[in-house]
Amino acid sequence: MSFAAAFPAIDAALSLPAAMAGGLYPWAYCVLALTGIGAAAYVAVGPGRQCLAGYRARLARRRIGRALEPERRYRRLSDRLAVCDTIADRAALANACCDLELFEEARRHYQNILARPHGAQPMFMEGKARAEYGLGLDDQAAMTLDVLRARWPHHRSRDLRRLCAHSAKMGKSRPVGAPFPKRYFGEAS
């Protein structure tokens, strides 16, 4: 078979997967109309696009985006919080603040969450303690962790273990059974 006769066979072989993938409109016509060049373009772009749509490729793009523009998520979450102030939006913004080392703002967000009717959750107290450690308020962070352990003794998480280890290393943890200030239980002091 001559070289010129091989092109229609290659074009037909490549237009079939393009049609089966649902991309008949651009690719099948390009492959058939531009003999040789269309086939090369389909091989370069068609399956390559499918490889970039995988989970690991999306994860890599997300990591690159965070590295190039770390405050993008913070701005997006701030805008969303301005539209609708929910506990979930405020918690996501507080977490983004901790990632960007804006600990004072993160602490304010966590305090706001904990003051709400349904905001008293252990994960939010962990976040508040993390923000307090970031600010250098080790005593308050240790007190927050002690209140967390008193209210939810069976709560376990990786962040809680890390924060408690830091608290113990700093010598700030309270002895078991020591009284807590009333203001941490939502009562006026």
Reported as type and span, the H/E element at residue 134 is: helix 122-135
> Contact at 8 Å (CB) between 134 and 106?
yes
Give the per-residue pLDDT at 170: 65
CATH architecture assigned to 71-185: Alpha Horseshoe (1.25)
pLDDT in tens, 14-44: 665 665 566 555 656 555 566 666 666 666 6
Give the per-residue pLDDT at 8: 66
* CA distances, 90 to each of 39, 86, 102 (Å): 51, 6, 14
For the chain, the structural domain boundaries read 3-53, 71-185
Tell me the backbone φ, ψ of residue 108, rounded to 5 degrees.
-60, -40
User: Has residue 185 got a pLDDT over 60?
Assistant: no
Q: Map tokens 């016509």 to a residue.
A: 29
pLDDT in tens, 67-110: 888 888 899 999 999 999 999 999 999 999 988 889 999 999 99
Handedness of CA 61, 65, 68, 70 (dihedral sign): negative
pLDDT in tens, 106-156: 999 999 999 998 888 899 998 999 899 888 888 888 888 888 888 888 877
Average pLDDT, the chain: 75
> Contact at 8 Å (CB) between 93 and 77?
yes
Residues 103, 139: Cα–Cα separation, whole Å: 16
Residues 137, 94: Cα–Cα separation, whole Å: 17
Which range, 28-37, 39-48, 58-67, 161-170, is most confident? 58-67
Q: Map tokens 């006026």 to a residue.
A: 188
- Per cent of the chain over pLDDT 70 is 61
Of 54-58, 136-140, 156-160, 170-174, the poorest mean pLDDT is in: 170-174
Give the per-residue pLDDT at 104: 94
**The two three-digit tokens of residue 137, written as one number:** 């308020």
Residues 38, 116: Cα–Cα separation, whole Å: 61
Residues 8, 117: Cα–Cα separation, whole Å: 70
The DSSP result for 53-80, as a single string, is TSHHHHHHHHHHHHHH-TTHHHHHHHHH
**The two three-digit tokens of residue 154, written as one number:** 């069976």
